[in-house]
Each structure stands twice: as C-alpha cells, then as structure tokens.
Structure 1
Amino acid sequence: MASRTRRHGAPKAARDGSRRPRLPLRLLLPVLVLVSLMAMLMLRGYVHSEILADHRVQPPAPTDRVPEEILEGGPVIDTRGGRTDSLSVPDHRLVLTFDDGPDPVWTPRVLDVLKKHDAHAVFFVTGTMASRYPDLVQRMVDEGHEIGLHTFNHPDLSFQSKERIDRELSQNQLAISGAAGIRTSLFRPPYSSFADAMDNKSWPVTEYIGSRGYLTVVNNTDSEDWKKPGVEEIIRRATPKDGKGAIVLMHDSGGDRHQTVQALDRFLPGLQKQGYEFTNLTEALGAPSAHSPVRGLDLWKGKAWIFLVQAAERITDLLVVGLAVIGSLVIGRFALMLVLSGAHARRVRRKGFRWGPPVTEPVSVLVPAYNEAKCIENTVRSLVASDHPIEVLVIDDGSSDGTARIVEAMGLPGVRVIRQLNAGKPAALNRGLANARHDIVVMMDGDTVFEPSTVRELVQPFGDPKVGAVAGNAKVGNKDTLIGAWQHIEYVMGFNLDRRMYDVLRCMPTIPGAVGAFRRSALQRVGGMSDDTLAEDTDITMALHRDGWRVVYAENARAWTEAPESVQQLWSQRYRWSYGTMQAIWKHRRALVERGPSGRFGRVGLPLVSLFMVLAPLLAPLIDIFLLYGLIFGPTEKTIVAWFGVLAIQAACAAYSFVLDRERLAPLVSLPLQQILYRQLMYVVLLQSWITALTGGRLRWQKLRRKGGVSAPPGMDAIPAQRSVGAMDGRRPVG
C-alpha cells in the first residue's frame, strides 16, 4: 500500500494562484471500469438474444407475387444476379441440414455420429451461437461439413428492414470468419419451410438475399425433430420416397436433441445400405464450394469479435459469481448487525449495567485544528459546558485563518492553545498527547460539538482496566440538506450498527476521529498516532487490538459533526477514508497469523473488515449493474419487484437502527433516493481507492471547507461571555 506523510492545505500551485490543466482521473478511471462492465453485460445480452432480438413470426401471406417455378421447384433458390432459378438434389443424394446451432451439448454428439458413419452435412449456424462456441464451428469445417448463415439473432426477416437484414448477414459472417476463417455463400431464413411456402412477404426478402450474393436453401423433407415425436417417427419423416434426393431439416440446438442424435445414428447406416450418399450441398449439386477463405483485415475483425464475445462470457460468469458473493455478504452483514446490535443494546441498557467503578477523574480533550475559524468557537464552548472535569487542548496545526487567536480571545478556563507548524493531524494529536496532564485522553475534530454528557459517557468504560479505547456515537449535525440527510442515514444505519456489532465481537476496527477516548498508557505503548496511513483513527485502533487492549462502543457519548455539504467534499472525504482503511488493513495484515490476546482481532476483526468494508463495497456495484440490465432488457417486472423487495428489507433495517439509536424516522423518506444516487457515488469512490491502491498511487490529505453550521445541541447551558486571554487558568497558551 502506498502511504505518505500528509499535510493540511492546498497544493502549492493552488496557493500561488497558478492552475495546471489536469484530467479528472479520479472520476474517469472508476467510471471507465463501471462502463466497461456494463458494456460486457450488454454484449453478452446481445449474443444471447436478450438485446435487440425480434421474436415475431409473420403469419402466412398471399403467394400471387411469387414465381410459379419457385413455388413448384426445388429447395435451393438462386436469385443471384437477377436470376430466378430453382434447384433440386439428385436422386439417392441426401443433404442433412442442422439449424440453430452450434450447441455445446448436442452439436458435438451430432458431429460424432456423422463422423462415425462417414457422412457430411450442412450446419446453418446463428451468429449468436457461433460467437459463443467458435471451436464447434472450426470443428465442422475441419471435418468437411459446410457452414451456412442462419442470421445473427434468428429474427423473421419478413419484418425487418434492408438495413437490419444486412446487419444480420454481416454479423453472422463476422462470427463465422472469426471462428473458422471462412465466408459462406449459403443462407437459410429463420422460420422457413418448403419452397411452396414462399409468399409475398418472404419472396422479396429472398430476392434481396440473392442480390447480396447468397444461395437460399430451404428443405423438402422435414424430420420435425423439434417436436420430439420419437426416434422412429423422426426417421420416418426424414426418409425420402422412391429413392429421390432431398434436403433434410434437423436441429442440433434449441432444446433437448437426444432423440435427434439417436435417430441419426440409425438413420445414416439404414439409408446408406439403400444406396444413399450423405454429402455437402455443393457436392450434391456439382457446384463450387460454398466456402472461401477470409484474410487480412476481415479475418482480424472476426477474431477480435470472437475474443470480445468470449471475454464478455467469462467476465459475465465472474460477475454472476460476484453478485452471489455480494448478495451473501450483504445478507450476512445485515443479519449480524441486527442480531448483534440488538444484543449490544440489551446488554448496555439493562438495569444495573456498569463497566466498573465510575470514572470521575479529569480527562484531557485534544482538539487538532487547521483553519477551523468557522467552527472552533462552537466546539470549544460545547466542551467547556461538559459535566465532567476536563482540560481542553486546542492544537493549532499552522492555521492561516486565525483559529488559535479565536480560541485565545475566548479566554475560557481550562482551555489551552498549542501552536505548531503545519505537520498534519497525527502530529498535532501527538503534540497534544505530550502536553496532556491526565491519564485518559479524548480526541475529537475541530468541527465537532459535544453534548454536556458526552465526555462523561465516553470515559465510563475505562472502569474496566482491559479497555484501552472507546468509540463514541458520531452524528451528523447538518442533516437539514439532502446530502446531509443521506449521510445521517449512513451514520445511524451503517457506522453505529457496525460499532455495536464489532463491540459484541470484540474487534472494533475504528475509533471515529470525531469522538473517541484512549488510555494514555495504551497510546504510548503502541507509539502514539501514526501518519503511515490516511486513516490514523483506524490505524491506531488496530494497533491497540494487536497490543491486547479491548476497544468498546459508548452509545450515549454523542458528538455532532459537520458532514460534507457538497459532492466534491464528500468525494474527497470518503476517498480518503476508503484508501486509508485499505492502507491500515495492509499495515496490520500480520494480525492474521498472530496469537495471544491480539489473535481475536486477526482471526475475526480483520477478515470481517476486509469483507464488509473493502470487498463488499467493491462488488456492490454489481447489484445496480444487473438492476439496470434487468430494467432495460428484462425481465423488467421481476427486476422491479426484486429491487423493491431489497429496498423494503433495507428500510426495515434502517428503521430498526433509527429506533435503536433513538432517532426520528422522518429522514428515512429519502432512503429510496439515497439508494439510487448516493450509493452509486460511494461505488465510484471505492473503485477509485482500489485503483489508487493497486497502482501504488499517492493521495494527499485534503482539508474540507467548513461552514460552521453545527452549533451546540439543544438544552446545553449557555457559556459565559468571552474573557481575556490572561484569564485562561492563570497560564499562557503554549506556542
């Protein structure tokens, strides 16, 4: 994992006013990945006749415009070059034809029977099947059989425009060229029958097909094997009378063809004994071969097409597996969260529950601040109103907006300001830790507001000597906007339920930077806050687990934080979180094999975090990709029902989490819109994080622009008016 020491602030180019043109790669690469996956699905749908397929069949039409010589002629119709010729197969010659293949199950069996009895046939293949099973097309050619076109998607051409007919022919040829390196001049229309079934709708199509250089082949002996009438009946219907030649229609695809294979194995030797020859069509007619080699650009186009189709097939198979995996992960996570979060709530809310002796000694509150002028006064005033004895250390990390001066001018008792050159949040926290006077240290963000009881509730778990850190209940303070409401749902439904679950499992992965408490001795044992990752809160939490400390969740230690209010800021924040989490997992990967007190986190916590916070979000876009696919290409009704079913489950889980967290249910009105818009944004952010991680890219720590919109929660006591700097507990701020 790539990591770097981070500094607050904008790049130098932005500070000095210059701007460098740059491509929005953070958006481009993830979107390209999602678009590529969707393109693969669409290609797969196209070659499976799920997209642009036309299954209409033209009813019989009048025949007065069809020439008599066609209606009364043979099964081979030649309209090339303006001709109107009808050809028949000579006596004692049989041309076996197989439609709709190749099929991966039945075509090899048909080919085996033909090879066994030294017989040849004509396979009229569709482009969809030839694209999916090119090896079978190559085998047909290698074993001396002829190939004919049967369109790409098997539509009734009587309904189609000339442009669609041309596309069906050219794409069918493209598939055959890529599969076997040949072109063919033979064509059989879908849903065709005998020559006397030609009518005013199909005849113009036949004429146009001839103008494109193709010989139209129908049949005059139909085995009707698709009806599965039984082996004996198939043989009877396929056998011509009085030694006449015939073109026999059979199928090697489109369903169960075991009767066709069995009938063929008896039909061939039986008629060979009667003097029949089973030859290719051009051999039977004494005509030049229907095949011609394809070379140059056309050959490479065909091979490229086959490659793309094969890639789409394999990628789609992987996506389906991924969809099953993400479905299992989502259901498993929901089940774990609901069961274990309920167990956590019952445990900590039962009458008489205590972590240990009440914690009443003073604590140090560290507030790292960089350009928090709009927020810092609300933050500090909320701390001074605490009902637990505290000292407040505001560590100004090289702010340029007067953050330190604002705090100093407030003149509040028990509040100190520590100044340092800009060095990043971990360095600021370590500086505050070195200056803290008490054994328990609370850490928070400079844009966060505490309730009067927050610190008291946060430190009570330290009554248990095994507890090394406590996660508080971070809440969105600016949830009156749509983006804020979506994040509010995410915080309550996701983060806090997660923390309850991980608390019960004793493998809490993250102490939120907005509200967390630590034993000073525990922090010192693991070396303090590290800048190895972009998620120092996750990093330190994992380090504490590996050192054998217990990390718990205090649901009543509420803190109100200012969530990003624009898509850009939200993107920057979540990108940092996602990438930082990956870095922390990679940094602490040895926990998987460690034993002793830290082994539980390695055996349970790290795998769960990797599954739920890294792998699951990576695969989660598959749900919406297949949803979009189903909405557009079907089955639309079932897709809509499934989506609303999943939404109902999510709504029920969200309502449960809101009730558990004692929140009003009104924000859940925006849940459907969150699932449609907000979740997709998070997908792209995570994909970007994966790309950054895999390519070894570097990421700057980005400062969010604050508006200072989170004020003290209702019911907080008013703070006395500002005092002089000299009144700060009789001490000057540390500089």
Structure 2
Amino acid sequence: MTAPTSARGRRRAPSRIERAAGRAAALQKPRVILALLLLLALTCVLLLDGYLRAEVGGDQRVRTGAGSGDVPDRILNGGPILTFRGGRATTASVPSKTIALTFDDGPDPTYTPQVLKILDRYDVPATFFLVGSMVSRHPGIVKTMVDQGNEVGIHTFTHVDLSYQSNARVNREMRQTQLALAGAAGITTTLFRAPYSSETDAIDDFSWPVYRKLGEEGYTSVFVDTDSDDWKKPGASKIIDWATPKKGKGASVLFHDAGGERTQTIEALPRYIEKMKAKGYTFTTISGVVEKQDTAGEPSATPASGAASGAAGTSAGQGAETGVRPGTARGDTTAGGLQAAHRAATGMTLYEGKALLVAVAIAEWALPVLSGLLLVVGVAVMGRFGLMLLVARRHHRLRNRRRFSWGPAVTGPVSVIVPAYNEKECIANTLESLARSTHPIEIVVVDDGSTDGTSEIARAAADGLGIANVRILRQENAGKPAALNNGVRSASHDIVVMMDGDTVFEPETVRHLVQPFADPEVGAVAGNAKVGNRDTVIGAWQHIEYVMGFNLDRRMYDLLRCMPTIPGAVGAFRRDAVLEVGGMSEDTLAEDTDITIALHRAGRRVVYQEHARAWTEAPGSLRQLWSQRYRWSYGTMQALWKHRKSLTDKGPSGRFGRVGMPLVVLFQIVTPLFAPLIDVFTVYSMIFVDLQAALLAWLAVLGIQLTCAAYAFRLDREKYRYLLMMPLQQLAYRQMMYLVLIHSCVTALTGGRLRWQKLKRTGEVGTPAGANG
C-alpha cells in the first residue's frame, strides 16, 4: 500500500487503521463472492425442494394421443412387458394363473410401509415403480423395500409425462431416479413404467419414440393388463373385483401405494391376495415373468418388426447421454442375490447418489427452518412498519404543535465544521449555502490533506461571497474523525454543527438545528438529510430510502429516546459533550454512530429535528453506492460491538442499551439479513406453488410499503411522483442492499478491517431555494 502524501508533498507513515486496511484489502473480493454464494446456496436449496415437490402425484396427462401406424400391431396387441433385445421390439405376457403385482407413485411415508408389511405377512413379492423425487425424500423405505425382496423400477423423477419432452429431459428424469435409487439402496434398475401409461394398445406416435429410445438403452418398459383403479376410491370390494383377471389369465396388476389417500388400497390388498391364492394364483415380479418366458420359450414373447427393427442396441453415445446405464445382462449379479432387474451401483454413480440424498435431506430440513425464520422476519418487518407509522404520527403532531417549544430561543452564534478531502467540485456550493444562513455562524473548514486545491477554492469562494467568519485549517491527511476533532478543538462557540463537504444547507437549517439545545438535557441533534441528485434512477431510489427509512426511523428513535445515529451530513453537538466522550473516534468507520452511542452512555439526550434540512449528493453509480453502504453497515456493526457493554448500563444512560441496541440489531442487521428469504420464497411460490397467490401476496406487501412511504413523504412534504420508482426499487435496489449487508457480516465475522473510501462527486447539488423538490 502506498503511503499517503500530505498537502506539502511529504510522505507520512500510514495510520493503524490504514495498515489494517492494507492487510484486509486482498480479502474483500473473496468476501463478496462468499456473500453471493451464501444467497445462491439458499436459492438452490429452495429450488431443489420445489423441484422435488412440483409435479409428484399429478393426476392428468400433459397431452393425449392416439395409436398410429408407426407402432407395430404386434406391440399394440402384445403383452404388458416391452423389451428391445438385439434391437428388436419384443413383448411378453404374464403366464396364466400368475400375477405380477405392481405399485405406482411411491414411496409414500404413510402407505408404502403398510403395503410392505402386508406383502411380508403373505410372503408375496411385488414390483414398485418409484418416483425419483420421492425416493430421494424417503430413502429408508426404498432400502427396506429392496431388502425385503421386492423389485423396483423407474416411474420418472418428477412424475412427468415423457411423451412430449426433449431427449435431454427424458435423460435427466431417468438419470436422477437412478441416482436416487443408488443412494437409497445401492442399486440401479432396468425396469421402467411411464407415468399415465396403461395397456400397450394405448401406445401412440408420441410415446413410442420414448419407449424405443429407452429400450435401446437397456430398459424394459412395463404396462398394465389389469387395473384396480384404486385411485378412484370406489371401495375395497370393487378394487378387488377390478384387479381380478378374467378366466384364470395371468396379469400385470396395477395398484397405487402413493399419490393420494390410499386407505382403501390398504384395506383391499390383503383380501385380494387371499382371494387370488385361493383361486390357485401365484405371485411374482416382472423379472420373474421375463425369466419364466425365457426359460419356457412361450409364444407370448413376440418379436415385432417395423420401426424398431433397425435399432442396433445401446451405443456408447447413448450410454453417455443417460449417464447411468441400466445394463442388459440378466440374472443375479451379486452373492447377495439381487433381483434380476437390479444392478449394484458402484463408483461415481453410488457417490453421486449419496450426494443427492444429502442435498435433498438438507433441503427437507432447511425448508421448515427457513419458513419459520420467514414468519419471524415477516412479523418483525410488519410490526416495524406499524410501529413507525404510529410513532411517526405522534412525533409529527407533538413537534409541530403551535405551543411546542424546546425553551427560550437559541440565538447565539455556533461553529459549523466542514471536513473536506478533495472536495473541489462541492466546497464552493457548501460555503455559498452557509453564507445564506439566517443564524449567526462561524465556519471552520478543515482541509484533510487535499491534493486538488480544495482549501484554495474554499478561500476564493469565501472571499468572493464576502464571508468574513471563515477559517480554513490544513492538516496532513488523517481521516474524517481527525478532521472533525481538529475542528471541534478550534471552534469558538459552545455548539458545533457538523456537515460534509459535499452538503448544502437551507438558510433556516442551522437555526432549526440548534433550537433543541434550549433543553439542557439535549447533547446532540440529528438533522434531516435529503438527496439532492434525485432525478436519476439511483438517486430516486436513495431519495425514497432516505425519506421512508432514515427519517421515519429517526422519528421513532427520537420518541423512544434511543437515537442510534446523527448523520454526518447534518448534526449538531454541545462542544463539551463531544470532548467529554473523547471526540470522534477512529475505532470504527461509522464515527457518527460511534459518538451518538457514546453520548447516550454519557447521559446526554439525542433528538431529531425534522425541519433542519441538508441536501447531500448521493452516490451516482452502483459501484459507489455499494462502497458507501458497505462502509456504513460495517461501521455500524463495529460501533455496536464497541458499545456492547451498553446492554448492562444502568439508569438513564443505559436506555440505549436496553431499547436502542436491540432495536438497531433487530431492524438494521437481523431482519435485513434474513429479508432475502421473502424474495426467494416469493419466487419459489410463484414457480412451484401458486403464481397468483404469491403475486397477490407480494403486491400486498408492496402496498403496505407504499402506504408507509406515502405517509413519510407527506410528513416531509415531498412530491409523490418519486414513489412510482418504488416497485422497481423493491426488485433491484433492495436486493443490492441485502448483498451489501451480507458482505459486511462476512467481513465482520472474518475479522476484516476497512478504511474510508472517497466517493467521486460532481458538485451537481447546488444551493437550495428552501423548498423541497
């Protein structure tokens, strides 16, 4: 870090804060990245949870189609099991007096375990076609299912109709379900049943390419011979009747163990098994059917010619597309005796599956926690709005009564201290505004080692305006706190007004600002800072923030007697009170907040004077805005930490610790830190829950904020047209402020230090005419 240079060109040793800043400078960009990553992680968790829940259990097809000449007749008229061995489409039927019991849409934490208990009691195997998102949420049930000797197949990851999906979506649905199975039970599977499928005669032009593609990759597609239609909830007796094959035929029978309320299925299943066994039926899995057909060579296994005849089997490219290939071999593959359709998951497939389950577990755990936090944040934010409105109204009515008075009018001269560092664009406007003051003042300009001729411009402006009571002090660059302390020590009067070198006062500002000192308890007064360059988008956003946030807040804190900050742009102090607490401290970057809290702890009262208006030049770019707000928020955290012992202060001097400190921490750090939850949950709800309801909720919150802002504008007699920018402010500006706060928190937690950053000024804020704009 280059050592700072004084106005005379001499190099000096860097200060303690500057040395710390140099050591921390290299860490700032990584902290920004970490802050963004934290918000991204939160978004990803919610999106993952939304993806898991979005389409599961849907009861309607995306589209419907009809059979076509592109599907071979032998497939349309064939059995319920479709394979593509050797590139040729082949169907197989379930042998007579045999039932392949299948279940769709699981696993369900309520009904699937009950189904498994019934199957285990009757020693009956079944084939479960599982939804991948449900597998990832309930892996233990799948592990039990497989260990019990049942067979599992894929029912897609999100229960989506694949007929009209892209190849990429089809591959993703299959791969993700395979990974879920690998993580849950250590297996992959070759079985597939499409959501919303039925018998083979319902295969159409749109679904046939999907079956053919998956068949060429080694999957066996399974359809239905007999449907229990248990999802219609017709009663257990009808479910049993509808699930019974006619005339002793074999069948692939469909039940559901999930996707809705399945009490009737649970009631019907044991009675159905007993009935079928009494009729001489045996139960098997889909793989059992295929193996039996392979062994017997029965004619029901029918090769089909036509569209599938040119397929040459699974290629390496196809396997790479899918990512998790089911394989083509048959029979047991491990000593443990896996079902014929199962493959032991190994290597990256197994590890990725485990990682998927961990991610889903985090999402499942995080959602209720985040929902609870959102509720707390929402209640706190709405409570704050309500409190601000009530207190601001009382404050306005109290301070604007005709009979209200602080005491005898303060008419004595005061000292106005103007710290300036490279303020050549603004210093003349500042002095011109002070020259018009209706209250007698002494002006002390402290040039903090400027290199742009600020002091010379200030002297020329003072001479040109004929201001005799101007003193210009020059010091080596030491920072704003040092400049202010120099000005306080050099002040000739008991009351000192502090302002920034880029700020202009109205003629009545100083007079209004010093009147509260008629009350001997008052040690400092906060003025009303206004954004002067408000005719840009960024300026309008900050204008809304200043009027709605800062000034409504100050009214509330004033009545509660716990004002946390006197703005550097416009504030007044008793000189002896400043000296009593040791002057402006260099311990933090928010010296204004630091000294305000110190005054509270010294037993001094701090009040807000709404009529003492100052016009300041707000940052004109997002980069400068980020720099300023980052310093403000980080400096506030430093000040709060420095004065953390105020929480245990006793008596009147402990009021800030008892009331102000908790309010500042809650409303300026905690709730804004978690406020992004509101936006993330709003987007989440719009995508995955109910777009209309989420949009209405967002508009309702915006309406409440607009109401608060309109009332604040009314109190400050501002023009309402700027509120037209508020919806856009909520969509862009507010998110930036959240990121700034997150960045500041990360910096604070990692022990980083910052230095003052000089903002680029244009000098466009001129002397006001006395009316708001």
Residue 446 of structure 2 corresponds to 395
113 and 587 in structure 1: CA distance in 2 versus 1, 3 angstrom threshold:
farther
Report the alpha carbon displacement of residue 69 of structure 1 after superposing the two structures with TM: 4.8
Q: TM-score, normalised by structure 2?
A: 0.84
1:529-608 matches, cutoff 5 A: 529-608=584-663
Report the alpha carbon displacement of residue 63 of structure 1 after superposing the two structures with TM: 5.8
The one-letter code of the counterpart of 2:615 is W
Q: Is contact 2:67–2:203 with CA below 8 Å preserved after alignment?
A: no
Residue 374 of structure 1 corresponds to 425
Residue 658 of structure 1 corresponds to 713
Report the alpha carbon displacement of residue 584 of structure 1 after superposing the two structures with TM: 1.6
The one-letter code of the counterpart of 1:337 is M
Residue 191 of structure 2 corresponds to 186
217 and 398 in structure 1: CA distance in 2 versus 1, 3 angstrom threshold:
same
Residue 145 of structure 1 corresponds to 150
1:304-357, CA deviations, whole angstroms, 9 ceiling, x for partnerless residues?
A: 333333334444444434433332233222111111101100111112011233
| Aligned counterparts of 1:7 and 1:220: Cα–Cα separation in 2 | 80
Report the alpha carbon displacement of residue 453 of structure 1 after superposing the two structures with TM: 1.9
1:634-669, CA deviations, whole angstroms, 9 ceiling, x for partnerless residues?
A: 744444444333333322222211110011222223
| Aligned counterparts of 2:135 and 2:356: Cα–Cα separation in 1 | 11
1:66-215 matches, cutoff 5 A: 66-67=71-72, 69-91=74-96, 93-199=98-204, 201-215=206-220
Report the alpha carbon displacement of residue 431 of structure 1 after superposing the two structures with TM: 2.0
24 and 493 in structure 1: CA distance in 2 versus 1, 3 angstrom threshold:
same
| Aligned counterparts of 1:611 and 1:702: Cα–Cα separation in 2 | 27
Q: Which deviates further from its counterpart, 116-125 or 240-249? A: 240-249
1:54-84, CA deviations, whole angstroms, 9 ceiling, x for partnerless residues?
A: 9644435236555555445433233322344
Find the residue that maps to 1:613 and give its secondary structure. helix
Do residues 337 (structure 1) and 337 (structure 2) align?
no
- 1:453 paired residue among 502, 505, 508: 508
Residue 712 of structure 1 corresponds to 767
Report the alpha carbon displacement of residue 148 of structure 1 after superposing the two structures with TM: 0.5
Report the alpha carbon displacement of residue 451 of structure 1 after superposing the two structures with TM: 1.9
Residue 405 of structure 2 corresponds to 354
1:583-662 matches, cutoff 5 A: 583-629=638-684, 635-662=690-717
The one-letter code of the counterpart of 2:410 is V
Do residues 490 (structure 1) and 541 (structure 2) align?
no
363 and 99 in structure 1: CA distance in 2 versus 1, 3 angstrom threshold:
same
| Aligned counterparts of 1:21 and 1:337: Cα–Cα separation in 2 | 40
- 1:295 paired residue among 333, 346, 349: 346
1:313-328 matches, cutoff 5 A: 313-328=364-379
Q: Is contact 2:55–2:159 with CA below 8 Å preserved after alignment?
A: no
Report the alpha carbon displacement of residue 556 of structure 1 after superposing the two structures with TM: 0.8
Residue 479 of structure 1 corresponds to 534
The one-letter code of the counterpart of 2:450 is S
| Aligned counterparts of 1:571 and 1:151: Cα–Cα separation in 2 | 45
Q: Which deviates further from its counterpart, 62-71 or 331-340? A: 62-71
| Aligned counterparts of 1:570 and 1:196: Cα–Cα separation in 2 | 66
1:24-63 matches, cutoff 5 A: 25=30, 28-49=33-54, 56-59=61-64, 61-62=66-67
| Aligned counterparts of 1:370 and 1:159: Cα–Cα separation in 2 | 66
Find the residue that maps to 2:416 and give its secondary structure. strand
39 and 504 in structure 1: CA distance in 2 versus 1, 3 angstrom threshold:
same
Find the residue that maps to 1:427 and give its secondary structure. helix
| Aligned counterparts of 1:665 and 1:501: Cα–Cα separation in 2 | 22
| Aligned counterparts of 1:65 and 1:373: Cα–Cα separation in 2 | 81
Report the alpha carbon displacement of residue 501 of structure 1 after superposing the two structures with TM: 1.2
The one-letter code of the counterpart of 1:701 is W
Residue 254 of structure 2 corresponds to 249
403 and 278 in structure 1: CA distance in 2 versus 1, 3 angstrom threshold:
same
| Aligned counterparts of 1:163 and 1:560: Cα–Cα separation in 2 | 58
| Aligned counterparts of 1:616 and 1:657: Cα–Cα separation in 2 | 21
Q: Is contact 1:90–1:285 with CA below 8 Å preserved after alignment?
A: no
613 and 140 in structure 1: CA distance in 2 versus 1, 3 angstrom threshold:
same
Q: Is contact 2:243–2:253 with CA below 8 Å preserved after alignment?
A: yes
Report the alpha carbon displacement of residue 540 of structure 1 after superposing the two structures with TM: 1.3
Report the alpha carbon displacement of residue 709 of structure 1 after superposing the two structures with TM: 2.0
70 and 705 in structure 1: CA distance in 2 versus 1, 3 angstrom threshold:
closer
Q: Is contact 1:55–1:155 with CA below 8 Å preserved after alignment?
A: no
714 and 84 in structure 1: CA distance in 2 versus 1, 3 angstrom threshold:
closer
| Aligned counterparts of 1:106 and 1:593: Cα–Cα separation in 2 | 56
Report the alpha carbon displacement of residue 464 of structure 1 after superposing the two structures with TM: 2.2
| Aligned counterparts of 1:70 and 1:664: Cα–Cα separation in 2 | 74
1:245-288, CA deviations, whole angstroms, 9 ceiling, x for partnerless residues?
A: 43321112211122222333444455556655544333455463
7 and 160 in structure 1: CA distance in 2 versus 1, 3 angstrom threshold:
closer
Q: Is contact 2:55–2:160 with CA below 8 Å preserved after alignment?
A: no
186 and 468 in structure 1: CA distance in 2 versus 1, 3 angstrom threshold:
same
Residue 335 of structure 2 corresponds to none
Q: Which deviates further from its counterpart, 290-299 or 125-134? A: 125-134
Find the residue that maps to 1:100 and give its secondary structure. strand
Gaps of 5+ in 2: 1-14, 293-330, 332-339
Q: Is contact 1:120–1:280 with CA below 8 Å preserved after alignment?
A: yes
117 and 522 in structure 1: CA distance in 2 versus 1, 3 angstrom threshold:
farther
- 1:514 paired residue among 566, 569, 574: 569
Report the alpha carbon displacement of residue 91 of structure 1 after superposing the two structures with TM: 5.0
Q: Is contact 2:60–2:196 with CA below 8 Å preserved after alignment?
A: no
271 and 546 in structure 1: CA distance in 2 versus 1, 3 angstrom threshold:
farther
The one-letter code of the counterpart of 1:237 is W
Residue 722 of structure 1 corresponds to none
Find the residue that maps to 1:712 and give its secondary structure. coil
Residue 719 of structure 1 corresponds to none
1:493-545, CA deviations, whole angstroms, 9 ceiling, x for partnerless residues?
A: 11101101111222111110111112233323322211111111111112222
Q: Which deviates further from its counterpart, 552-561 or 597-606? A: 597-606
Report the alpha carbon displacement of residue 624 of structure 1 after superposing the two structures with TM: 3.2
- 2:436 paired residue among 377, 385, 406: 385
Q: Is contact 2:178–2:189 with CA below 8 Å preserved after alignment?
A: yes
Report the alpha carbon displacement of residue 392 of structure 1 after superposing the two structures with TM: 2.3
Q: Is contact 1:54–1:155 with CA below 8 Å preserved after alignment?
A: no
5 and 338 in structure 1: CA distance in 2 versus 1, 3 angstrom threshold:
farther
Do residues 263 (structure 1) and 268 (structure 2) align?
yes
Residue 484 of structure 2 corresponds to 429
Q: Is contact 1:358–1:460 with CA below 8 Å preserved after alignment?
A: yes
Q: Is contact 2:31–2:746 with CA below 8 Å preserved after alignment?
A: no
Residue 17 of structure 1 corresponds to none
Q: Is contact 1:621–1:680 with CA below 8 Å preserved after alignment?
A: yes
| Aligned counterparts of 1:86 and 1:677: Cα–Cα separation in 2 | 58
Residue 297 of structure 2 corresponds to none
405 and 162 in structure 1: CA distance in 2 versus 1, 3 angstrom threshold:
closer
79 and 550 in structure 1: CA distance in 2 versus 1, 3 angstrom threshold:
same
Residue 740 of structure 2 corresponds to 685
Report the alpha carbon displacement of residue 174 of structure 1 after superposing the two structures with TM: 2.2
Find the residue that maps to 2:526 and give its secondary structure. strand
Q: Is contact 2:61–2:196 with CA below 8 Å preserved after alignment?
A: no
Report the alpha carbon displacement of residue 241 of structure 1 after superposing the two structures with TM: 5.1
The one-letter code of the counterpart of 1:624 is D
